């Protein structure tokens, strides 16, 4: 039993919700926001050329949106649960936009898994399907499809003296839609990714043995290429594991689906201690899931880690360069405005001071220039 700062006790579930929604979830989500911003800074620099990085860029955008929504939703569920504006945010932003961003993440993970499996199992098909152009096309299709599919979640609740269900929520279409979402994006996706993950792990073992063979034969170029593909596959394996742990349970715990999938439409169960505890645990796992991709990239992909170091060094160097330019301009405006011109004058002076050619030097004086002859032997 905990206390709320007075002698009046509060229930254990209220205390756990306070700690989770006010401290743990916002902290983890804030780290996820920073991590996904760094992901985007690295992935959009143009030096990560493999098609899989396009999928990772799309995943970073979706995860960034999700982390922002989870951060504010955690506050809404905790310190400001009774606030009208936080309830508006929960109903009209978090449930709808959050469903879109998570759908984009799920679809992207599925498609990047398909891309890896094609690349590993069928090298000929990889030339057609595992390209940057195809990756961009797939990602551009994922966004509008995700928006259209999740429109019902904008219509399920309203804020009217608290969060209330709409007639659409009680209709048959909404119940069917929830089951379709659970079967396709929850259960079906989890089964597909579990099998795909197993195949990827087996391919990692084969790649390790193949790399040892290539090293023994001193085929360093092939070994380097295989090492890069192995790093990318290992990164994807980690992403899938996080998905299975952190995303799949949310299909059962989310407000828009729990009453239909778990309680047979009985919305009164959404205020029970059992559901609140389950949702609390799932919310923490979800925040961890969408916040840890940056850690995975750095831990499993040395190329990504080196790019992160370069980005951080560039971000650190830019303010120093700006400060240096300001100092130069303040102390010597002409110098600050004409650095390039001074450099050009130095180069011209250097060329003028260069030693003359043998044809231009003689015994103490310079010989006159020779006339240029035209085609008939006459001077031009």
Q: Which CATH number is 253's domain given?
A: 1.20.1070.10
Q: What is the CA angle 257-262-268, rounded to 5?
A: 80
- The answer to whether residue 184 sits within a structural domain is yes
Residue-wise pLDDT for 47-85, tens only, equals: 778 888 999 999 999 999 999 998 888 776 666 667 788
- The answer to whether residue 7 sits within a structural domain is yes
Q: Is 377 exposed, middle or buried (0-12, 13-18, 19+ CB in 10 A)?
A: exposed
- The answer to whether residue 377 sits within a structural domain is no
- The answer to whether residue 239 sits within a structural domain is yes
Our count of domains for the chain comes to 1
Q: Which band of pLDDT confidence, cut at 50, 70 and 90, is reported for residue 10? A: low
Distance of alpha carbon 328 from alpha carbon 350, whole angstroms: 25
Residue-wise pLDDT for 341-379, tens only, equals: 555 555 555 555 555 444 444 444 444 444 444 444 333
Report pTM: 0.73
Which of the residue ranges 105-109, 159-163, 309-313 has the most confident prediction, judged by mean pLDDT? 105-109
Q: What is the CA angle 199-205-208, rounded to 5?
A: 140
Percent of the chain with pLDDT over 90: 22
- The answer to whether residue 374 sits within a structural domain is no
- The answer to whether residue 54 sits within a structural domain is yes
User: Residue 3 is inside which H or E element, if any?
Assistant: strand 2-3
Which residue range(s) make up the domain with 215? 2-315
Give the model's pLDDT for residue 217: 61
Percent of the chain with pLDDT over 70: 70
Do the beta carbons of residue 287 and residue 70 sit within 8 Å? Answer: yes
What the block records as the tokens of 149 is 């599919």
- The answer to whether residue 352 sits within a structural domain is no
Q: Is 354 exposed, middle or buried (0-12, 13-18, 19+ CB in 10 A)?
A: exposed
Do the beta carbons of residue 250 and residue 102 sit within 8 Å? Answer: yes
- The answer to whether residue 371 sits within a structural domain is no
What the block records as the tokens of 252 is 């059962």
Q: What are the residues whose beta carbons fall under 8 Å from the beta carbon of 130, sequence distance 6 or more?
A: 51, 115, 118, 119
- What are the C-alpha distances in Å from 95 to residues 92, 141, 152, 155, 227? 6, 22, 10, 10, 41
């Amino acid at each position: 039993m905990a206390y709320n700062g007075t002698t009046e006790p509060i229930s254990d579930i209220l205390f756990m919700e306070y700690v989770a929604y006010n401290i743990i979830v916002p902290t983890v989500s804030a780290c996820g926001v920073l991590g996904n911003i760094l992901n985007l800074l690295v992935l959009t620099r143009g030096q990560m050329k493999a098609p899989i990085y396009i999928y990772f860029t799309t995943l970073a955008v979706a995860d960034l949106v999700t982390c922002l929504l989870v951060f504010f939703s955690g506050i809404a569920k905790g310190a400001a649960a009774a606030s009208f504006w936080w309830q508006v945010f929960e109903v009209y932003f978090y449930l709808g936009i959050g469903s879109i961003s998570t759908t984009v993440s799920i679809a992207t993970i599925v498609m990047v898994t398909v891309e890896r499996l094609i690349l590993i199992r069928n090298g000929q098909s990889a030339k057609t399907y595992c390209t940057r152009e195809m990756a961009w096309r797939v990602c551009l299709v994922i966004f509008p499809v995700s928006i259209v599919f999740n429109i019902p979640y904008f219509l399920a609740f309203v804020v009217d003296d608290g969060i209330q269900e709409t007639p659409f929520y009680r209709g048959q279409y909404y119940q069917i839609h929830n089951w379709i979402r659970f079967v396709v994006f929850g259960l079906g996706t989890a089964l597909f990714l579990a099998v795909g993950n197993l195949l990827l792990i087996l391919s990692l073992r084969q790649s390790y043995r193949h790399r040892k063979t290539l090293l023994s034969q001193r085929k360093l170029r092939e070994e380097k290429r295989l090492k890069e593909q192995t790093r990318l596959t290992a990164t994807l394996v980690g992403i899938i594991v996080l998905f299975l742990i952190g995303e799949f349970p949310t299909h059962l715990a989310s407000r828009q689906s729990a009453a239909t999938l778990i309680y047979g439409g009985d919305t009164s169960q959404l205020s029970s201690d059992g559901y609140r505890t389950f949702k609390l645990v799932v919310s923490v796992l979800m925040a961890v899931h969408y916040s840890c991709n940056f850690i995975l990239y750095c831990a499993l992909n040395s190329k990504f880690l080196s790019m992160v170091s370069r980005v951080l060094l560039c971000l650190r160097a830019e303010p120093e360069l700006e400060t240096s330019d300001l100092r130069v301009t303040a102390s010597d405006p002409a110098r600050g405005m004409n650095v390039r011109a001074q450099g050009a004058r130095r180069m011209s002076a250097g060329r003028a001071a260069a030693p003359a050619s043998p044809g231009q030097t003689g015994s103490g004086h310079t010989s006159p220039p020779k006339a240029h002859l035209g085609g008939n032997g006459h001077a031009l």
